[in-house]
């Protein structure tokens, strides 16, 4: 008993378990528990850190970000314009003069006016400002509508300024009766002097003596103009806009009517006098607003704020509905010409094929080259809209087109300058079908079949008679891969034309030992297997400099002799027929459904070369291809 008491007295209480244990055991248990607590604390801390630390960054996407087609209407200048009069639906107008073909700058005006109205649940008028019969032709009327529709827009109504000739005439008489207009007989020289000389700073400005005529005298003279009393430039009606000393040139008594001895396309010989743009456009805007009983928002390209003053003055003076006008900047592109007179010179001198030459930046030229309408819409949207004029480098426009085509058109193999390659041991593959995708990135584009043949065509530039270490394509003893073909080939010999020195045939064998060649090239089977001959036109910049207007010797001396390079004997693989059948590529804007689009809607990427479209010179038996834009080449490509 005594021994038991003595041993018990040496034991210690384990408070966690209630047991009596030896001092050594208790220490052992306490150390074990401390370790367990430390481990648990570490786990708890790790969980806390996991909750508080920032989430890992998502992996960068290799796909192009989706462009919001309405972004320019939601933000910036156009958002602010709408906030001035936040009324829906909004009606706008696109008012071209039918005296020439539209150019790239007009694409911005079309996109802004039609797009703005559509975004705000409204409509846009197409109004032909046909007030100058000396320059207007039916071909221009037709081409303007064609371009509007090609860009994917449908006019709410097609109207003509000439629809309002009588109403405009009546308002001109009213302006006379308000003592705000007078008939002037001054020469151009006299008018320049009245306005202070060429730049308005040569001397004091003053109003001519005709401004002092009575209302009755001005009405008599104006009716005399109407009835054919005067020849062109002998008399014209001027607006009496306030003080001639005003610092704004748009308030220096602008012309309202002039005499033109030319029948009008629509009204014939009814009128001898025609209203000017400065008199017509603001009043026609007002008429169309009143007819619709809605807001007419006028977005005028390249119209200075100074012009808005005269615009608003006329509507206010005559007491008509006052539309809201806001001005935004013009779009121009370097390295080209947009002047009608200078383009006409290029056409008449036969430097270009016509107004629709793919080297020009007329819209019909851009369309013929194969630029998709959707690419133009994206380009304008990307630039945005501000009050500043935009002078854009050609390479930026090209890059916008390239980005658009990269994700929207199929890929084919095209040989510009073909030379035959006979693969001596290809009997087992001869006649075999290879299934090739139209796009490695977009399975929805589908695929097509190519028949492999023992003789294939490669591009002459992909072969060298002797090759250095930096050349990775075909040469005697060198191996290269053929796209989509299971084995690479090795050149073993070649023959040449003694007269021209050109290689006429290459002999090769499959190199089954080389699993992964250093380079792959495009190829095409023989015509018997479905390949097609084509004429390929490679278009480069029409001018050598960025500003042909300032070139020494004039713009004609600046023409680039290499602006069009033709490959008359090119070969395109058989997938072209499927691409042609399924056009347009892509289905967008004015080319929104199968079969809706001209030959230029047959677009594809020729692998390793460029983007191409079919030209309007093509027939069922003859394929002509235009280069739309070059591929973005790697600087070190060999």
CA-based nearest residue to 251, from 241, 262, 264? 241
- 604, 585 Cβ separation under 8 angstroms: yes
Q: Is 633 a catalytic residue?
A: no
Partners of 13 in beta bridges = 20
Residues, the chain: 638
The rounded distance, in Å, linking the Cα atoms of 612 and 573 is 14
> Using CB atoms within 10 A of its CB, is residue 443 exposed (0-12), middle (13-18) or buried (19+)?
exposed
Strands 123-128 and 90-94: parallel
Q: Packing angle between helix 394-408 and helix 373-383, nearest 10 degrees?
A: 130
Three-point CA angle 590, 593, 598, nearest 5°: 60
Q: 3-state class of 364 per DSSP?
A: helix
Q: What is the 3-state secondary structure of 237-298? A: EEECCCCCCCCCHHHCCCEEEEECCCCECCCECCCCEEECHHHHHHHHHHHHHHHHCCEEEE
Q: Is 262 a catalytic residue?
A: no
Q: Is 97 a catalytic residue?
A: yes
The rounded distance, in Å, linking the Cα atoms of 627 and 605 is 10
The rounded distance, in Å, linking the Cα atoms of 554 and 87 is 50
Q: Packing angle between helix 138-150 and helix 104-119, nearest 10 degrees?
A: 60
Buried b (16+ CB within 10 A) or exposed e, 260-275: beeebbbbeeebbbbb
Give CA separation, 327 vs 113, 486, 505, in Å.
Answer: 12, 60, 63
- 110, 94 Cβ separation under 8 angstroms: yes
Which residue among the candidates 330, 403, 518, 532 is catalytic per the annotation?
330
Strands 564-572 and 390-392: unpaired
Which residue among the candidates 192, 223, 262, 340 is catalytic per the annotation?
340
Strands 411-412 and 603-606: parallel
Which residue among the candidates 25, 29, 97, 403 is catalytic per the annotation?
97
DSSP one-letter string for 79-95:
HHHHHHS--SSEEEEE-
- 422, 505 Cβ separation under 8 angstroms: yes
Catalytic residues: 97, 330, 340
């Amino acid at each position: 008993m005594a021994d038991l008491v003595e041993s018990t007295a040496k034991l210690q209480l384990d408070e966690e378990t209630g047991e009596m244990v030896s001092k050594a055991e208790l220490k052992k248990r306490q150390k074990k528990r401390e370790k367990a607590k430390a481990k648990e604390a570490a786990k708890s801390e790790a969980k806390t850190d996991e909750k508080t630390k920032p989430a890992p960054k998502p992996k960068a996407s290799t796909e192009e970000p989706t462009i919001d087609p309405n972004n320019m209407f939601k933000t910036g200048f156009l958002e602010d314009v709408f906030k001035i009069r936040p009324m829906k639906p909004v009606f706008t107008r696109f008012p071209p003069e039918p005296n020439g073909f539209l150019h790239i700058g007009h694409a911005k005006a079309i996109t802004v006016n039609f797009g703005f109205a559509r975004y705000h649940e409204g409509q846009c008028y197409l109004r032909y400002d046909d007030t100058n019969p000396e320059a207007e032709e039916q071909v221009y009327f037709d081409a303007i509508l064609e371009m509007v529709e090609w860009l994917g827009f449908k006019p709410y109504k097609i109207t003509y300024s000439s629809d309002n000739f009588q109403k405009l005439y009546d308002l001109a008489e009213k302006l006379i009766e308000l003592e705000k207009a007078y008939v002037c007989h001054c020469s151009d020289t006299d008018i320049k002097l009245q306005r202070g000389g060429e730049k308005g700073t040569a001397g004091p400005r003053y109003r001519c003596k005709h401004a002092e005529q009575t209302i009755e005298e001005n009405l008599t003279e104006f009716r005399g103009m109407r009835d054919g009393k005067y020849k062109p430039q002998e008399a014209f009606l001027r607006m009496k806009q306030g003080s001639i000393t005003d610092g704004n040139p748009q308030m220096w008594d602008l012309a309202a009517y002039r005499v033109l001895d030319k029948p009008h396309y629509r009204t014939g010989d009814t009128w001898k006098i025609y209203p000017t743009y400065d008199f017509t456009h603001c009043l026609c805007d007002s008429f169309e607003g009143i007819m619709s009983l809605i807001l007419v928002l006028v977005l005028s390209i390249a119209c200075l704020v100074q012009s808005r003053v005269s615009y608003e003055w006329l509507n206010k003076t005559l007491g008509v509905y006052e539309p809201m006008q806001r001005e935004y900047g013009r779009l121009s592109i370097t390295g080209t010409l947009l002047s009608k007179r200078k383009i006409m010179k290029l056409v008449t001198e036969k430097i270009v094929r016509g107004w629709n030459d793919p080297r020009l930046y007329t819209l019909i030229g851009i369309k013929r080259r194969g630029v998709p309408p959707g690419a133009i819409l994206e380009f304008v949207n990307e630039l945005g809209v501000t009050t500043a004029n935009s002078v854009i480098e050609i390479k930026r426009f090209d890059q916008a087109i390239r980005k658009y085509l990269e994700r929207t058109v199929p890929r084919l193999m095209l040989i510009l300058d073909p030379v035959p390659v006979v693969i001596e041991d290809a009997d087992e593959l001869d006649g075999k079908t290879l299934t090739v995708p139209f796009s490695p990135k977009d399975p929805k584009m589908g695929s097509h079949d190519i028949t492999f043949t023992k003789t294939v065509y490669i591009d002459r530039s992909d072969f060298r008679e002797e090759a250095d270490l930096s050349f990775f394509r075909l040469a005697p003893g060198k191996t290269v891969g053929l796209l989509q073909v299971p084995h690479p080939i090795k050149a073993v010999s070649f023959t040449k034309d003694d007269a021209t020195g050109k290689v006429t045939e290459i002999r090769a064998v499959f190199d089954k030992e080389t699993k992964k060649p250093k380079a792959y090239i495009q190829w095409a089977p023989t015509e018997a297997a479905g390949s097609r001959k084509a004429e390929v036109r490679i278009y480069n910049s029409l001018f050598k400099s960025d500003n042909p207007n300032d070139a020494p010797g004039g713009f004609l001396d600046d023409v680039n002799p290499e602006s069009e390079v033709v490959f008359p004997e090119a070969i395109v693989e058989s997938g072209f027929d499927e691409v042609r059948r399924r056009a347009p590529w892509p289905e967008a804007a004015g080319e929104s459904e199968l079969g809706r689009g001209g030959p230029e809607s047959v677009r594809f990427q020729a692998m390793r070369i460029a983007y191409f479209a079919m030209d309007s010179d093509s027939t069922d038996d003859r394929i002509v291809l235009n280069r739309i834009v070059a591929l973005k080449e790697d600087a070190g490509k060999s």
